[in-house]
Structure 1
């Protein structure tokens, strides 16, 4: 093993979250990773053995600096972020202030050499319908953008991590990851299967012509680790082209498609195909005002303590799409997407249906066989 290219001691912010916990599992299986530390405000869920957890507020510079001095990580993966519907102040504090504090502390800690940030498709300004963006053409929102606070704050973090690149002291990279599926806590798949239980799988919001990206969570984690190892290699090689430090990368399955095409693929694999003549289209010009009215009513009658299932932001998601090419990640990181998205989906669906207590379609078992735990957990790799 080349010690210069080894991950060594790794610190993960948000390591109790969906992607973060899967990343921790992968790091524990990586022979070049010696120790894993997790920083979280409330480290009580998705805990892994042989991992040290630290209850830390990212905005507390003194506390964070003390942790870095004690741990002396070589690599930092920054995944911490509130959910997209979190209060604006919480989003700003974590995604902007917290990221700035972490970058400053990392730059002042001699042991830290690589800093990898997980961005999102929500940080990217949509291009014209049908256009697949590249890292060179994509534009980020900024603090003046009239957009949901989650999108704005993730975009600011994206830009500031890229700008903080300072080789050879601190090398940074940003991975932009869309909605993920798979893994042990597959909320995305559960939500789609809940539509089946409610008989809502025939419903389509809008015309379903815009393209979106999707990513198998194991592959997202794999890309994160590839980026970290590439940054460490560049401490010695200092490449002038096809470099990773100071760069951004789009990550996905490499299969752009309309959202409800993807959803209906899931329904079909779960044993409930939806024929074209069975699709019930709900126009967005009707659904968005309806969602706004419901949110207002909930705010008035519950004093803001509850939110309706139908929300304006959820509806507006289907008016903006960000689809992209992953050529740069494949060429520079050596990233390879899933070879067959359908086969991975079938295995994930079977696992999720069993977890939800739903009867597994014989169609799934007949095409994929029994899915094993190892097929749903990361052993080497989205983060």
Structure 2
């Protein structure tokens, strides 16, 4: 569900005078719709391409597209656009992360299709929405920058990160001095009022009392990215490419709020604002990583049995939440004029969840939450071990 973004000069000022025609793949999602609102507000023509749409984006032209099908993408892009934002992706979190075939089809095949359609129909600029994970795979990184090499493909623990890396490299290699200009924006964890992926998953854990344990170093500093800052970066990247700015073309840039913070402290602000208990226990990082591995194994078993099963955590999620990794936005500031306007502010998110019935009064917090959480974790570990035992009896389960 999109929200009205602040109309600050950082979001609304354009670098080029004439209005442009934009197509946003993944336009039915939170990022795509938020981006569309700002572009439309400044006078641009915006079309959304996706498989599914909500009633909130009815003011935009909508094209039903499966990016994994070249015919669909070609039909959408053939309408004539100055710039395409390729936001569509699959497999970012939860059970989606384990659907490898679909992840590859959307993230790699879909990106190839978008590039081919842009080249065929004379699109001037392509802005690709990428991720920190193209260089991060569980190793500590402090104030990293764009000179870091891609993480070797065999070191990625999840298909999403691996395919996003492959797709980003396809996009940047498609940059041409005489044709399509491209760039990639590597995002930190996205948040904001109405975000539909990470925050609801986290709040769901908080609501059942499962947000009581932290892992990794207490000061496991990570970056987050508010939706306002995300949109600003995308708009400025597109404007620079449409002006033919060679400092941007063919390059990747990290985007974040520019203020690394301990991961569990960030989410504790959300839990506290909603009246839910905050972490009071510490678990060894490798133990939680092992539980996540068991959860993935249980998911594999459930799939073979035709059962629906949402893993508690995945190994990639444990890495991203328990290991310090943050990056400089200096390159984006220099080349794009990027300036974060919001920094780790969850106030609007708390309000958004409360208006939808989440949260409890502070006084209602359970007094014995630590013991209850520990029992819950032990029960989960026991259940996952049973799943692992079952898996060992089924041939062909990896």
- The within-5 A match list for 1:336-347 is 336-341=339-344, 344-347=345-348
- Offset at 1:66? 3.1
Hey, what does 2:53 align to over in structure 1?
44
Are the aligned partners of 1:231 and 1:244 in contact in 2 as well (CA < 8 Å)? yes
- Within 2, Cα distance between the matches of 1:168 and 1:289? 50
Runs of at least 5 residues in structure 1 that lack an aligned partner in the other structure = 363-383
Hey, what does 1:282 align to over in structure 2?
283
Are the aligned partners of 1:119 and 1:177 in contact in 2 as well (CA < 8 Å)? yes
- Offset at 1:340? 4.6
Decide which of 6, 15, 20 is 2:32's aligned counterpart: 20
Hey, what does 1:73 align to over in structure 2?
81
Kindly tell me the number of residue pairs found equivalent between the two proteins: 345
Are the aligned partners of 1:7 and 1:74 in contact in 2 as well (CA < 8 Å)? no
- Within 2, Cα distance between the matches of 1:18 and 1:124? 25
Q: Is residue 264 of structure 2 the alignment partner of residue 254 of structure 1?
A: no
Decide which of 334, 338, 357 is 1:331's aligned counterpart: 334
Hey, what does 2:374 align to over in structure 1?
none
Are the aligned partners of 2:226 and 2:342 in contact in 1 as well (CA < 8 Å)? no
Are the aligned partners of 2:215 and 2:285 in contact in 1 as well (CA < 8 Å)? yes
Range that drifts further, 148-157 or 294-303: 294-303
- Within 1, Cα distance between the matches of 2:121 and 2:17? 19
Hey, what does 1:315 align to over in structure 2?
318
Per-residue CA deviations over 1:9-55 (Å, capped at 9, x if unaligned) read: 11110001121121122222122x1x211221x22336413312112
Change (3 A) 1:273 1:336: farther
- Within 2, Cα distance between the matches of 1:78 and 1:201? 34
Hey, what does 1:162 align to over in structure 2?
172
- Offset at 1:90? 0.9
Decide which of 267, 272, 277 is 1:268's aligned counterpart: 272
- Within 2, Cα distance between the matches of 1:117 and 1:46? 26
- Within 2, Cα distance between the matches of 1:108 and 1:182? 36
- Offset at 1:186? 4.2
- Offset at 1:175? 0.6
Decide which of 2, 5, 8 is 2:20's aligned counterpart: 8
Are the aligned partners of 1:350 and 1:360 in contact in 2 as well (CA < 8 Å)? no
Decide which of 49, 53, 56 is 2:62's aligned counterpart: 53
- Within 2, Cα distance between the matches of 1:361 and 1:247? 47
Are the aligned partners of 2:137 and 2:157 in contact in 1 as well (CA < 8 Å)? no
Are the aligned partners of 2:132 and 2:187 in contact in 1 as well (CA < 8 Å)? yes
Hey, what does 2:189 align to over in structure 1?
179
- The within-5 A match list for 1:288-307 is 288-297=289-298, 299-300=300-301, 303=305, 305-307=307-309
Are the aligned partners of 2:137 and 2:156 in contact in 1 as well (CA < 8 Å)? no
- Within 2, Cα distance between the matches of 1:30 and 1:86? 40
Runs of at least 5 residues in structure 2 that lack an aligned partner in the other structure = 1-12, 364-398
Hey, what does 1:377 align to over in structure 2?
none
Hey, what does 2:367 align to over in structure 1?
none
Matched residue of 2:49: which SS? strand
Are the aligned partners of 2:142 and 2:324 in contact in 1 as well (CA < 8 Å)? no
Decide which of 243, 246, 254 is 1:233's aligned counterpart: 243
- Within 1, Cα distance between the matches of 2:199 and 2:162? 26
- Offset at 1:260? 0.8
Q: Is residue 168 of structure 2 the alignment partner of residue 153 of structure 1?
A: no
Change (3 A) 1:194 1:4: closer
Hey, what does 1:373 align to over in structure 2?
none
Per-residue CA deviations over 1:214-244 (Å, capped at 9, x if unaligned) read: 011121011101110111122xxx55xxx11
Are the aligned partners of 2:186 and 2:254 in contact in 1 as well (CA < 8 Å)? yes
- Within 2, Cα distance between the matches of 1:131 and 1:68? 40
Hey, what does 2:383 align to over in structure 1?
none
Are the aligned partners of 1:65 and 1:105 in contact in 2 as well (CA < 8 Å)? yes
Hey, what does 1:115 align to over in structure 2?
126
Change (3 A) 1:63 1:30: same
Hey, what does 2:202 align to over in structure 1?
192
- Offset at 1:335? 1.2
Hey, what does 1:223 align to over in structure 2?
233
- Offset at 1:146? 4.5
**TM-score scaled by structure 2?**
0.78
Change (3 A) 1:61 1:194: closer
TM-align CA RMSD: 2.8
- Offset at 1:199? 2.6
